[in-house]
Chains A and B, each alone.
Chain A
Amino acid sequence: MDKLARQLRDDAQSIDVTISDELDRRIDASLRSVTPAGEKRRAVPVGRPALFWWASTITGVAAAIAVIALINWSEPEQTAPPPVDLVATVPAIDLKAETAMLTTPLQEELDRLQSDLRKAEEKVKRDIGL
């Protein structure tokens, strides 16, 4: 420690101050009347803020997802449905096989009707004596 530093330290210590009993009592009384500002904070559990923020984040994300889902859900009702390609939606059919399947009974019916018609013509001819 150099000369100046030593003198400054010694001179500071030579400043004669004392805490009087009256000041001591005043300080003591005022400290007892003070409520530390931190006590209000202690009412909140220490672990809560982190949990709170996690819960808030999750709630926020869930709410965002719900809003997005709702918007997307209601959109088709508000707009005209897109034209449906019917050709694309009808399953392809093997037309040759289907035709045979559908026409065979009709052909048989037609043959029977023609046969009945011929029988009726012959009966009429016999009846009129032709």
Chain B
Amino acid sequence: MNDELKLIAAAKAGSADAFADLVRSYRERLLRFLLTRSPSYADAEDALQDTLIAAFRYLHSYDPRWRFSTWLYRIAIRNAARLRGPDLVEIGDLRDEENDPLQQCIADSETDNLWLSARQLLNDEVFAAMWLRYAEDMSVNDISKTLDRSASWTKVNLMRGRRTLETHMNGAANQAYG
């Protein structure tokens, strides 16, 4: 049994310390992801806290056949959607640039950060699929489980997302050289 499974077993038995150790390595990654989907940094922090509480409370429902990170991200996506409310459908609608928490967390020298463009160019789910694939290095199967979508949907939309970003990158490069 590896360390993660031991910690999961202890946390299932009610140990908050074991759960805290279990999720320690995921917290920053989750916060980074939630930041791309929240209207403010404080909301992202709240979403992270809610995600971890929900994960601890319902840890008994975790199926060890899944990767733990997959299960955690699934909860995080639901929490972020709940925080944003039903009116805000697309990530690109979330905020003005001045108060954009993602923008604030990217150094001024990196204004060409592709995730800023991705958030403008891709819809909510495709953005999430791209993030899970390229920032979290998840497999297509894990992404489809996390997003509750079929594997074929995930493959097609990852392809579309890539094509959109590549076109954007090439356009930006042409502008720079033109």
Contact = CB atoms under 8 A, between A and B. Distances in A.
Task: Say whether A and B bind each other.
Answer: yes
Interface string B34-52: 0110000000010011001
Interface stretch (B64-72, B79-87, B102-110, B139-147): B102-110
Contacts of B60: 36-38, 41
A32 B18 CA distance: 11
Name which of A34, A39, A42 has the most chain B CB atoms within 10 A of its CB.
A34
A62 interface: no
B52 A31 contact: yes
Size category of the B interface is 35 or more
Interface of A: 4-5, 7-9, 11-19, 23, 26-28, 30-32, 34-39, 41-42
Given A16-B106, A23-B45, A36-B57, 11 more contacts: A4-B162, A8-B130, A12-B32, A12-B135, A17-B31, A19-B31, A27-B52, A30-B49, A32-B16, A35-B14, A36-B60
15 contacts: A7-B114, A8-B118, A9-B134, A9-B135, A15-B106, A16-B105, A17-B35, A18-B28, A26-B49, A27-B27, A31-B16, A31-B20, A32-B16, A36-B11, A39-B14
